[in-house]
Amino acid sequence: MATLSSPGIGSGLDVNSLVNQLIGAERAPTDNRLNRDQSIARTQISAFGMLSSVLSGLQTALDAFKDIGADPSRKTTVADGAGFTASALTTARLGTYGVRVEKLASAQKLQSAAVVSTTQVGYGRLTIQVGTDPAVNVDIAQGQGTLANIRDAINAATGSQGVGASIVHGTAGDVLVLTSSRTGASSALTITTSGGDGKLSVLTTGTGGTMTQVTAASDAEVWVDGVQRISASNHLTDLIDGVTLDLTKAQTGLSFNLTIAADPSSLHTRVDAFVKAYNSAIGTLRTQSAAGGKDSMAGPLSGDATPRAIIQALRSAMGIDYANMATLGLTTAVDGTLTLDGTKLDATLATDPGAVRRSFGDSATYATKLRGTLTAYTGDTGVIASRTTALNASLKRIDDQRAALDRRMALLDADYRRQFTALDSMMAQMQSTSSFLAKQLG
């Protein structure tokens, strides 16, 4: 915007100051209104963001119950040094099992004879097979037959097949080590050669080969209550229904107890987390919509019906399952928050663990009602998203109005300056005429 930086030539008036004051007075009411509307919209967008956050937290707490069955979680107890660890699903039967780990499953490891690192072992094709899996061909070009080159070629060709090659650098020379990543007697390595100069035969498992066995491919042997199980893996998921065993150490001839018991504490933890998330949501809804008073400020959503509607919807959902909620130790306070009687919850879990599922399970009436309520308000097309979109549109309109105001004020500024310039010129002429007349009459 062009401005005059000096007073009028003829009048001595401060044109720049006068124009600025006139423009300021003209735009102040609109500026104040736009600033106020912009501040309110931004504050409300932030408030709706807080509502979305706490309601999403409540949704997360509710989703924690999706996987619960009719029975509570299980906890497993195994003595230290038993040679195995265990975990159990809710489907596992309660009880005690005697477990004895006789052998661990192992993966085969082979090593070659020692050679000088620069030695060209040979060239041609190595064929490596793990158990009965499809064989993998490893081609070694002439002049590329050092152990380092062979190691790299094997790793490039067999990495996805569960075979790894490495080199141990000993005093007597370098040793090529091949290790299968798969345990079990059926996963032994078979290495053959063909083509080339025939010297790669020293790296085979057949006649003429120098590959020696460091660790044999072997199966695990474990006994449960006198029942034997042979397994190619140390990770067993189907030995005992609902139980996963991980074998860690052979304890020949020694049996250790595995105890599976109910673990309602996990359900208690989930209910407690839900209550905290619910109360956080109620508290935030009330704070953001507070009417304010003599000693308190109004919330940014004061007078907005949305927070009150959400609170009412949450309380309504709770009311449809009040009786079962009460058996879980849950009651609603006057302010709409939940109170949890932990002792009563534990007593119910001890005798009727399915009570939690009946209220919070994926198909439970209360959970279904609450989930629908939360989706209606926090979903991509929900109420909060719609309100936020509308507020953002309002901010865009405010920006447009501010830009229009700037354009109008620029035109008005130019108009004022033209008028003052004309006035200044006229006053200069009048002063000149006055001076002329004064001289003539004097």
State residue 5's pLDDT score.
43
Structure tokens at 81: 């040094």
CA gyration radius, the chain: 42
State residue 425's pLDDT score.
73
State residue 69's pLDDT score.
63
DSSP-derived secondary structure letter, 233? S
Res. 4 pLDDT band, cuts 50 70 90: very low
Closest by CA to 110, choosing from 154, 158, 175, 184, is 175
Residue-wise pLDDT tens digits, 96-145:
999 999 999 999 999 999 999 899 999 999 999 999 989 999 999 999 99
Of residues 72 and 379, more confidence is placed in: 379
Q: Is the pLDDT of residue 167 over 80?
A: yes
State residue 128's pLDDT score.
94
Quote the CA–CA distance of 150 and 401 in Å, as a whole number: 74
187, 130 contact by CB (below 8 A):
yes
Of residues 219 and 409, more confidence is placed in: 219
Quote the CA–CA distance of 215 and 159 in Å, as a whole number: 20
Structure tokens at 426: 């006229």
Cα distances (angstroms) measured from residue 147 to each of 153, 183, 189, 195, 440: 10, 26, 19, 18, 120
State residue 75's pLDDT score.
86
Residue 315 phi, psi (nearest 5): -70, -35
Give the mean model confidence (pLDDT) for residues 15-21. Answer: 85
Q: Where is 434: in which H helix or E strand? A: helix 383-441
For 282, residues 6+ apart whose C-beta sits below 8 A from its C-beta are: 311, 314, 335, 336, 337
State residue 2's pLDDT score.
42
pTM for the model stands at 0.58
Closest by CA to 184, choosing from 116, 242, 253, 247, is 247
Residue-wise pLDDT tens digits, 243-293:
999 999 999 999 999 999 878 888 899 999 999 999 999 999 999 998 877
Residue with tokens 């509308």: 390
State residue 148's pLDDT score.
95
Residue-wise pLDDT tens digits, 285-303:
999 998 877 777 888 998 8
* Opening angle at CA 413, ends 408 and 414, nearest 5: 100
Instruction: Count helices and strands (H / E) in the chain.
Output: 9, 17
Res. 398 pLDDT band, cuts 50 70 90: very high
State residue 374's pLDDT score.
94
State residue 1's pLDDT score.
42
Q: Is the pLDDT of residue 9 over 60?
A: no
Structure tokens at 310: 């959400």
Report the sign of the C-alpha dihedral through residues 103, 108, 112, 116, in that order.
negative
Closest by CA to 416, choosing from 29, 12, 25, is 25
Structure tokens at 93: 């039967």
108, 216 contact by CB (below 8 A):
yes
State residue 90's pLDDT score.
78
Quote the CA–CA distance of 132 and 186 in Å, as a whole number: 8
For 271, residues 6+ apart whose C-beta sits below 8 A from its C-beta are: 328, 330, 340, 345, 356, 360
Residues in the chain: 442
Average pLDDT, the chain: 89
Q: Is the pLDDT of residue 67 over 70?
A: yes
Residue-wise pLDDT tens digits, 302-351:
888 999 999 999 999 988 888 889 999 999 998 889 999 999 999 998 88
Of the listed ranges 16-30, 47-61, 132-146, the least confidently predicted one is 16-30
Closest by CA to 271, choosing from 51, 6, 49, 61, is 61
Quote the CA–CA distance of 35 and 398 in Å, as a whole number: 9
